[in-house]
Amino acid sequence: MALRIVASRPNPGILTLPWDLPLEEWGEDVVVPLARGISRHVVRIVRVGTRNYAVKETQEPIAFREYRTLRDLQRLDLPTVVPHAVVTGRQSSRGEPLPTALMTEHLPYSLPYRALFQHGLTADRLPTLVDALVVLLVRLHLADFYWGDVSLSNVLFRRDAAGFAAYLVDAETGELRDTLAPQMRAWDLDVAGENVFAELLDLQAGGSIPADETPFEVVSQLRERYDSLWRELTEEQIFSAGELWNIECRIERLNELGFDVDELDIVTDYDRDTVRIQPRVVEAGHHRRELRALTGIEAEDAQAQRILNDIAAFTIAHDLGGLDREVVAQRWLTEVYDQVLEAIPRTAYAKLEPVQMFHEILEHRWFMAEHAHHDVPLMDAVRDYVEKILPARPQEAVAAPPES
C-alpha cells in the first residue's frame, strides 16, 4: 500500500520521517525531548525542518475524525492544537502494516500539567489550573461541542499572566452538535470530576502535591466555578425599566471575564415596567483582541488585560489623555514594551514568551517598590529580573526565536 498524506498546508519535510518504523522506535535524529502528557496512544514530538509536531498513532477512521473535528474547532477560533496531517498506508520494511498517524502542530511554550509541577508549580496554584480547564470547557460548550473525555491530561497549559490558558489536545471523543443538551454538559462535568480526581490522586502518589491536599475540594471547586461562569455568560437577568444601567453592568462584567457580547436579547413586558436581558452570542478573548488592535501584540487574555492596564497607567503618567488611544498605544509600544524586550537576552526567550516575561517584570517591579517603599524605574526592574529571577526559570520552549 502506498503512503498517503492528507494535510492542510503540508510541510514537504514530512516525507523524510521514518514512517516505516513504529513510532516508539523513532530515534533522536527526529524526536524532540519535550514533555508529553499521558496518552492511551504512542505519541512523539518530532522536528521537521524548523517546525515541531506531535505525532500520534491510532486507527485510520479515528485519525480522520479527530483531524476534521480539530479543523472545525479551529474555524470557530477555539483554543485547540492545530491539526496538520493524517498519514495512512504505513508499512514496515517487511511489508507489515503500521498504525495510521495523526500530526498536530506543537503548541509553543505549552506544558502538560505534570510537567508544570516538575517545573516548580505548587499545590496552592491548583485553582489556577482548574480555572483554565473550566474556561476551556465553558467555551467549548458555548460552541455546542461535547468533549466526552474532559481531563487535565487532554489539555496543554500556557502561562497567562498569573494564571494559565488551557488548550484542547485530544478531540478523539469530541463531537460538534447542532445544540448541546444540558444533560451532555452535565455528563462532561461528571467525567471531568472523575478524571481530575484520579489525576490529583496520582500527583499525590508521586509526591508532586502534599498528601493533605483534598482532591474532593478541587473537584467541587471545578463544578462550582463552571456553574458560576456558565450562569454569568448565559443566564437571563430581570430588572425594572428604571434600572437600565444593569445592561451596561452586565456587559462590563462579561468583558472583565474576558468575553465579548455580540448580541443581547432584550425583552420588556407589556407595560415596559420589567426588562429581561440574555446574552445570545458570547465570544472569548475580549482583552487580547483589544490589545491586538491597538499594538499588534499577540497575548493570552489575562496577559493582554495586564498590558492594557499598563498602557492606561502610561497615559496618566505622561498626561496623554487628550490623544487618541491608538496614538498613545503606539508610543507605549516604542518607549516601554520594545525597550524592555531589547534589554532581555535573546537566549532567555527559550524560557518564556516575551509577553509573559513583560508581565513578570511588571510584577517584579511592584515587589521591588513595595520592599524599597518607593517607586522603582522600569529598566532597573528589568535588570534585576534578568539577573536574579530569569536564570532560575525552566526552559518552556524548544528553542529561542531566530535572530531577526
- Sequence ranges of the domains in the chain: 4-106, 111-234, 237-284, 297-392
pLDDT digits (tens, 9 = 90+) for 203-216: 888 888 887 778 88
CATH code matching the domain that covers 4-106, chosen among 1.10.3470, 3.40.1350, 3.30.200, 1.10.10? 3.30.200
Among residues 125, 115, 119, which one has the least CA distance to residue 213? 125
pLDDT band for 256, please (50, 70, 90 cuts): confident
277, pLDDT greater than 80: no
Share above pLDDT 70 across residues of the chain, in percent, rounded to a whole number? 90
pLDDT band for 400, please (50, 70, 90 cuts): very low
Q: Answer left, alpha or beta for residue 392, where phi above 0 means left and psi between -120 and 50 means alpha.
A: alpha
Predicted local distance difference test score (pLDDT) of residue 38: 66
Predicted local distance difference test score (pLDDT) of residue 404: 38
Residue 86 identity (one-letter amino acid): V
**Rg for the chain (alpha carbons), in Å?**
24
pLDDT digits (tens, 9 = 90+) for 329-352: 999 999 999 999 999 998 888 888
Choose between 137 and 375: higher pLDDT: 137
In angstroms, the CA 164 to CA 79 distance is: 12
Mean pLDDT of the chain: 86
Predicted local distance difference test score (pLDDT) of residue 241: 66
Residue 148 identity (one-letter amino acid): G
pLDDT digits (tens, 9 = 90+) for 10-46: 788 898 999 999 999 999 889 987 666 666 788 999 9
Residue indicated by cell numbers 532567555: 348
Which neighbouring-strand residues pair with 282?
261
Whether the Cβ atoms of residue 135 and residue 127 lie closer than 8 Å to each other: no
401, pLDDT greater than 70: no
CATH code matching the domain that covers 111-234, chosen among 1.10.8.640, 3.40.50.2300, 1.10.510.10, 1.20.120.80? 1.10.510.10
pLDDT digits (tens, 9 = 90+) for 118-173: 877 888 888 889 999 999 999 999 999 999 999 999 999 988 887 889 999 999 99
Whether the Cβ atoms of residue 100 and residue 139 lie closer than 8 Å to each other: no
Q: Specify the 3-state DSSP secondary structure of 321.
A: coil
Edge to edge, the sheet with strand 274-284 lists 237-240, 274-284, 259-268
How far the first Cα of the chain sits from its last, in Å, is: 44
Describe the chain by its helix, strand, coil percentages, rounded to 5. Answer: 50, 20, 30
Whether the Cβ atoms of residue 99 and residue 43 lie closer than 8 Å to each other: no
